[in-house]
């Protein structure tokens, strides 16, 4: 699926640092980390076909699509119709570029993200360097 066709997408279950100085950003260090997280996500998605999974709510109060995104990957954790996929949301947490941000009722993978976040912090990757 073409992400542009969806409009603005909010990755369910995760929160990355702010990539621009705004009222939510804690300062220049957060913005630097946010830009690195944004670059990691761009590299992950660049030129790839994306599959979308929704949870209980389809959109947030800002009308963004709430989604879990998947990329086909032979090493992926998810098997669907004989093909393997990796979940983008989970990869952001595993790489240390996002924290867990659970907003009920969209909690399908919350425990998986919590475990991945603990492992990323323990390994000192991404923003945990």
- Is 67 part of a structural domain of the chain? yes
pLDDT value for 115: 98
Place of tokens 């119709």: 81
pLDDT value for 54: 96
Q: Supply the CATH number for residue 109's domain.
A: 2.40.50.90
- CB 114 within 8 Å of CB 100: yes
- Is 129 part of a structural domain of the chain? no
Per-residue pLDDT for the chain (129 aa), expressed as one digit of tens each? 556 667 899 999 999 987 765 666 567 778 889 999 999 999 999 999 999 999 999 999 999 999 999 999 999 999 999 999 999 999 999 999 999 999 999 999 999 999 999 999 999 999 999
- Residue from 125, 123, 64 nearest 96 by CA: 125
- Is 45 part of a structural domain of the chain? yes
What pLDDT digit, counting tens, does each position of 101-116 carry? 999 999 999 999 999 9
Domain range for residue 46?
Answer: 3-123
The total number of structural domains in the chain stands at: 1
- Is 20 part of a structural domain of the chain? yes
Considering the entire predicted model, what is its pTM? 0.90
- Is 69 part of a structural domain of the chain? yes
- Is 128 part of a structural domain of the chain? no
């Amino acid at each position: 699926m073409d992400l542009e066709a969806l409009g603005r997408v909010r990755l369910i279950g995760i929160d990355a640092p702010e990539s621009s100085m705004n009222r939510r950003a804690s300062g220049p260090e957060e913005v630097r980390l946010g830009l690195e997280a944004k670059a990691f996500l761009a590299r992950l998605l660049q030129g790839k076909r994306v599959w979308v999974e929704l949870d209980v709510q389809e959109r947030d109060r800002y009308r963004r699509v709430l989604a879990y995104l998947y990329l086909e990957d032979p090493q992926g954790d998810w098997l669907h119709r004989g093909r393997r996929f990796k979940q983008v949301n989970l990869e952001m947490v595993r790489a240390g570029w996002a924290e867990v941000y659970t907003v009920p009722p969209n909690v399908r993978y919350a425990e998986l993200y919590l475990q991945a976040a603990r492992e990323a912090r323990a390994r000192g990757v991404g923003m945990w360097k």
